[in-house]
Amino acid sequence: MTKRRGERPPVPETLPAPVVDAHTHLDACGAETPEQVREILDRAAQAGVDRVITVADDLKSAHWAAEAATWDDRVFAAVALHPTRTSTFGEAEQTELAKLAERPRVVAIGETGLDYYWDYAPKSAQHEAFRWHIDLAKRVGKALMIHDRDAHDDILDVLDTEGAPSTVVFHCFSGDLSFARACVERGFVLSFAGAVTFRNAQALREAARWVPEDHILVETDAPFLTPHPYRGRPNEPYCANYTLRDLATLRDVDPADLASKITRTAERTFGLRDVAES
């Protein structure tokens, strides 16, 4: 059993239409080199996951993600300091992130937001960093990718007070139907990870069933949150296939149709076509 939990899930049958993994961590999946990135993306392609956004959580990861996005045309990047890492967030870090954010294959500022589950950074530091990232997203004209853990009301309050960027994505959306409605009313996009497939996540599944088709994305957050029925095993971008199929069943729609609509939303949200053509 222990050995099995350490094994990756099988690569599933290819999706009938390709989809984008809107949030993954290729470095945390074990990738360091261009060859290792390509191996992960080739597995994803077998499952019909044709592009990924690899997301940073600290400055070292941000540099790596921005560089990795130049190694393979299927990879894009998001850069930020994760809210749990903001206890020391000064001018030097801000200068570096602002430079990275200007790179063409960096398509989002994230993940940033608030995390009240862990106490690694004071709330005051998290709020200050969140506001700075909101401003950065506005300055560079790129999507803001939100990390929200046990902080729904405060996240919305900060966004309302500061003025949200034109594009906001709630990564690994974890709210209920009421919170989903509040987000969609503001024009935000909700990205669902493997947790939405968990059979004990009924409030989350109810929200995912309701979200309008042009406000929904799918992600892995790999190597975390491996979808049902492989919960607890290592996650990779190809596992977005499992989440997509589960969402299609939950919403009673054709997987090909849902994949196509999610792909269009991902392309619009992150400007993927514009980047590819530049």
Three-class SS state of 147: strand
127 is in an annotated binding site: no
pTM of the model: 0.96
162 is in an annotated binding site: no
What whole-number distance in Å separates Cα of residue 187 and Cα of residue 59?
29
214 is in an annotated binding site: no
- At 5 the pLDDT is 66
- Closest to 146 in 3D by CA, of 130, 135, 126: 130
- At 4 the pLDDT is 61
Q: Residue for token digits 């600290």? A: 58
Condensed to tens digits (0 to 9), the pLDDT of residues 69-123 reads: 999 999 999 999 999 999 999 999 999 999 999 999 999 999 999 999 999 999 9
- At 277 the pLDDT is 77
**Amino acid, res. 116:** Y
What is the pLDDT tens value at each position of the chain, 278 positions in all?
Answer: 344 668 999 999 999 999 999 999 999 999 999 999 999 999 999 999 999 999 999 999 999 999 999 999 999 999 999 999 999 999 999 999 999 999 999 999 999 999 999 999 999 999 999 999 999 999 999 999 999 999 999 999 999 999 999 999 999 999 999 999 999 999 999 999 999 999 999 999 999 999 999 999 999 999 999 999 999 999 999 999 999 999 999 999 999 999 999 999 999 999 998 887 77
- At 274 the pLDDT is 87
133 is in an annotated binding site: no
- 123-132 long-range contacts, Cβ below 8 Å, gap at least 24? 125/86, 125/87, 125/89, 126/83, 126/86, 127/154, 127/158, 128/86, 128/89, 129/81, 129/83, 129/86, 129/89, 130/83, 130/158, 131/158, 131/162, 132/89, 132/94
42 is in an annotated binding site: no
Which domains are seen in the chain, by residue range? 15-277 (3.20.20.140)
Q: Are 53 and 20 in contact (CB under 8 A)?
A: yes
